[in-house]
Copies of this chain bind each other. A is one copy, B any other.
């Protein structure tokens, strides 16, 4: 039985290129006692993966050269060798990586119920991006009814959920996204109050129009200029959630620091970083709540699915070119 894997071959400087990974074939080994074999059906593609490729101390060790590219997955158990919990036919979500088959003793995998939501949703709204949105906006952003909330990457896997949760909680929500299609989607489908098209409009002017008195919370997925524009329009005691900085991940030079950071002083504001893993003990609670919102039609989830492990590189780059809508997923089977 052959397993195709995307192996990290070079550490990219700037944007990854086609030779950053090598597609290799290897035999699937025999299962040891207590292991299961999973056929990975969907692979989660996330901006954070770019950070994991750098040889730098971070919140998670870097992927090593020669290793399978780390990624979240969902797939079905097709073989089990005396596993105490999982059996053939179970659908598991976990860190399968960009490969067709994974072998695991079950650590960091959990079973999902495909009667409640389709498989890709478990690596989207009910997976890491959804959890990031949920805990980021509620526990770090500490939103309350009536707050003015701005979110960048508003059409993306995290941002789209952040804004919808803020709407559910009674906030005035302004998105920032790239292009008229995404902005239309954010307002008309997801119910945001407004969306600024940063590719075709002035973000500063858009914020002035849609947050005339400033913002209480800014949920930052992008960094760079947009973070600076938001810093310039904080209300007193505002909170900035630092979730990511996709505009900076492929920099060849230094990250661009927010030159307006002294607005934190003027407005007694807080900028706080988060990593979703810290909330793992409460994932179940969040999944239950978001599942209920989805069932009630209050929370919409959208995946943008591309096929074929051989198309990993081309699909991955859509994260940075912005050519995708909602959660980016690679379908393997």
Q: Mark A203-238, 1 if CB is under 8 A from B, else 0.
A: 000000000000000000001000010000000000
B271 touches A271 (CB 8 A): yes
State whether A242 and B259 are in contact (beta carbons under 8 Å apart), knowing that A270-B271, A271-B271 are contacts in the complex: no
User: For the complex, is A177 an interface residue (Cβ under 8 Å from B)?
Assistant: no
Which residue of chain B is the closest to A269 with respect to CB atoms?
B273
Chain A contact residues: helix, strand, loop or mixed: loop
A273 touches B278 (CB 8 A): no
Set B243, B257, B264, B268: member contacting A256, Cβ < 8 A:
B257
Set B259, B263, B268, B272: member contacting A264, Cβ < 8 A:
B272
Which residue of chain B is the closest to A249 with respect to CB atoms?
B262
A266 touches B228 (CB 8 A): no
A255 touches B259 (CB 8 A): yes
B255 touches A260 (CB 8 A): yes
B residues near A245, Cβ cutoff 8 Å = 262, 265
Q: How far is the CA of A262 from the CA of B249 in the complex (A)?
A: 11
Q: How far is the CA of A269 from the CA of B278 in the complex (A)?
A: 13
Residues of chain A from 18 to 63 with CB closer than 8 A to chain B in the complex: 57-59
Say which size band chain A's interface belongs to: 20 to 34
Q: How far is the CA of A266 from the CA of B274 in the complex (A)?
A: 7
B265 touches A243 (CB 8 A): yes
User: For the complex, is A66 an interface residue (Cβ under 8 Å from B)?
Assistant: no
A256 touches B259 (CB 8 A): yes
B275 touches A257 (CB 8 A): no
Closest beta carbon of chain B to A198's beta carbon, Å = 19
Q: How far is the CA of A58 from the CA of B236 in the complex (A)?
A: 11
State whether A268 and B278 are in contact (beta carbons under 8 Å apart), knowing that A245-B262, A273-B262 are contacts in the complex: yes
B residues near A263, Cβ cutoff 8 Å = 273
User: For the complex, is A258 an interface residue (Cβ under 8 Å from B)?
Assistant: yes
B residues near A242, Cβ cutoff 8 Å = 261-262, 264-265
User: For the complex, is A244 an interface residue (Cβ under 8 Å from B)?
Assistant: yes
Set B58, B248, B270, B272: member contacting A266, Cβ < 8 A:
B58
